[in-house]
C-alpha cells in the first residue's frame, strides 16, 4: 500500500434546487480514496454499519481501493444530509447522525501501517493522533480538519499539528485556526506550529499553497455545470495526495503540480451527484482537462 486514507465512509442525502438523492455513498475517506486510486495503491481505514450497501462496497473494491481497514460493525452507517441553494456555495447541513462513527476507533491492519503516504481526513483530532501512533514513519502526512474540531477540540488538534507535514483546510478554517482575518498571515501563522505547508482549499476560487519559502495560487477551472459540490474538497485532497506519490520529493514544484492535479480532479467531482464524477473519470478525461486547465491559465507575458 502506497497511500493510506483515514476518514469517514458515509451515506449522504443531498438536495439541490433541481434534484435529490438519498443515502448515496459519501464520506471523506470515500472521496479521497476514489480520487487517488488511479495514481496510488490506496487503502482506507474507516467504519461502516451493518446497513452499508454491498453495492457501495463493490464500488470501492472495483476502484481498487484496499478495504482491509474498512471495519464493519453492528448498527447504522454514518449519515449526513444537506441542502444546496441556487448558488452551489450556499450549503446547509440538515442532519448529521454519527451512528457507528461515534465509537470509531481506528485500528490499522499491518499493511496499512507501512504506507509511505498518509492522509488524515476530517475526523476527531484525537483519532488522528491514534492513527499517527500506529504508523511506521510515513514519508508524508497530510491532515484535514473542520470548524467543529477547531472550536471544540482545540487541545487535541494542537497535538496533531506538530506531527503532520501538510495541513489541507479551507479559507474559513485557516482564519478560525489562526485567529487572523488575513488568509496569508493566517496560513503563515499555522506554519509556525508544525506543518511545512498549508494548502488552502477555496472551492470555486481555487487553492493556495503557503510554505516557508513560497506562495502559490491556482484558480479553479470555471465550469458550466455544477451539480453537487459535496466531496469536492476530499476529491481535491485525494488527487493531490495521489499525484504526490508519483513525485520524488515534496518540494515546492511537486506540491504545485499536485495542487493543479487535485483541482482538476475536484472539477469532475462537482459535475455529478455523489462519487459518480470521480468514479467515471478516466485517465484520458483527466489528461484532457489538465490540458484545458493549462490553456485557461496560460499567459504569454
Judged by the rule CB under 8 A, the positions of this chain that interact with a second copy are 86-87, 181-185, 202, 205-206, 208, 214-226, 253, 256-257, 260, 290, 294-301
Nearest residue (CB) to a second copy, 109 versus 219: 219
First to last CA, the chain: 43
Nearest residue (CB) to a second copy, 118 versus 220: 220
* Contact present, 6 and 29 (Cβ < 8 Å): yes
Compute the residue count for the chain.
301
Instruction: Work out how close the CB of 222 gets to a second copy at its nearest, in angstroms, rounded to a whole number.
Output: 5
Nearest residue (CB) to a second copy, 177 versus 208: 208
Beta bridge partners of 92: 83
Nearest residue (CB) to a second copy, 156 versus 217: 217
Nearest residue (CB) to a second copy, 87 versus 192: 87
Locate 239 and state its grid cell.
Answer: 488527487
Instruction: Work out how close the CB of 91 gets to a second copy at its nearest, in angstroms, rounded to a whole number.
Output: 14
Sign of the CA dihedral 13, 17, 233, 30? positive
Instruction: Work out how close the CB of 85 gets to a second copy at its nearest, in angstroms, rounded to a whole number.
Output: 9
Nearest residue (CB) to a second copy, 133 versus 285: 285
- 173-181's contacts with Cβ under 8 Å and 24+ in sequence apart are 173/145, 173/146, 173/147, 174/198, 174/200, 176/147, 176/150, 176/151, 177/145, 177/150
Locate 132 and state its grid cell.
Answer: 499517527
Instruction: Work out how close the CB of 176 gets to a second copy at its nearest, in angstroms, rounded to a whole number.
Output: 13
Instruction: Work out how close the CB of 256 gets to a second copy at its nearest, in angstroms, rounded to a whole number.
Output: 5
Nearest residue (CB) to a second copy, 126 versus 290: 290
Instruction: Work out how close the CB of 255 gets to a second copy at its nearest, in angstroms, rounded to a whole number.
Output: 10
Instruction: Work out how close the CB of 185 gets to a second copy at its nearest, in angstroms, rounded to a whole number.
Output: 5
Nearest residue (CB) to a second copy, 70 versus 183: 183
Q: Which three-class secondary structure state does DSSP give residue 54?
A: helix
28/123 Cα distance (integer angstroms):
9
Q: Strands (DSSP E) along the chain, which ranges?
A: 3-6, 10-15, 20-26, 42-49, 66-73, 79-84, 91-97, 117-120, 140-143, 166-170, 197-201, 207-211, 215-218
Cα dihedral value 6, 200, 138, 112, nearest 10: 20
The pair phi, psi for residue 44, each rounded to 5°, is -120, 150
Instruction: Work out how close the CB of 261 gets to a second copy at its nearest, in angstroms, rounded to a whole number.
Output: 10
57/53 Cα distance (integer angstroms):
7
Amino acid at each position: 500500500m502506497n497511500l493510506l486514507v483515514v476518514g469517514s465512509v458515509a451515506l449522504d442525502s443531498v438536495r439541490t434546487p433541481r434534484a435529490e438523492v438519498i443515502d448515496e455513498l459519501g464520506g471523506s475517506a470515500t472521496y479521497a480514496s476514489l480520487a487517488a486510486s488511479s495514481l496510488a495503491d490506496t487503502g482506507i481505514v474507516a467504519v461502516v454499519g451493518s446497513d452499508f450497501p454491498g453495492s457501495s462496497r463493490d464500488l470501492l473494491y472495483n476502484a481498487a481501493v484496499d478495504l482491509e481497514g474498512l471495519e464493519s460493525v453492528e448498527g447504522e452507517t454514518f449519515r449526513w444530509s444537506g441542502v444546496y441553494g441556487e448558488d452551489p456555495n450556499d450549503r446547509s447541513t440538515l442532519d448529521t447522525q454519527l451512528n457507528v462513527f461515534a465509537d470509531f476507533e481506528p485500528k490499522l491492519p499491518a499493511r496499512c501501517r507501512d504506507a509511505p503516504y498518509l492522509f488524515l481526513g476530517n475526523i476527531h483530532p484525537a483519532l488522528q493522533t491514534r492513527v499517527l501512533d500506529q504508523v511506521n514513519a510515513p514519508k508524508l502526512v497530510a491532515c484535514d480538519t473542520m470548524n467543529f474540531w477547531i472550536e471544540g477540540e482545540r487541545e487535541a488538534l494542537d497535538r496533531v499539528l506538530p506531527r503532520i507535514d501538510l495541513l489541507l483546510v479551507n479559507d474559513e478554517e485557516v482564519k478560525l485556526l489562526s485567529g487572523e482575518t488575513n488568509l496569508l498571515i493566517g496560513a503563515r501563522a499555522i506554519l509556525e506550529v508544525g506543518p511545512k505547508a498549508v494548502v488552502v482549499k477555496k472551492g470555486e476560487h481555487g487553492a493556495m499553497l503557503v510554505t516557508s519559502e513560497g506562495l502559490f495560487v491556482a484558480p479553479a477551472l470555471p465550469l458550466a455545470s455544477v451539480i453537487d459540490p459535496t466531496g469536492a474538497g476530499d476529491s481535491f485532497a485525494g488527487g493531490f495526495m495521489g499525484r504526490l506519490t508519483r513525485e520524488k520529493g515534496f518540494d515546492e514544484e511537486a506540491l504545485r503540480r499536485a495542487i493543479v492535479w487535485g483541482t482538476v480532479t475536484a472539477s469532475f467531482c462537482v459535475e455529478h451527484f455523489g462519487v459518480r464524477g470521480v468514479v467515471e473519470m478516466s485517465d484520458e478525461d483527466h489528461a484532457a482537462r489538465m490540458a484545458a486547465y493549462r490553456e485557461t491559465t496560460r499567459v504569454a507575458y
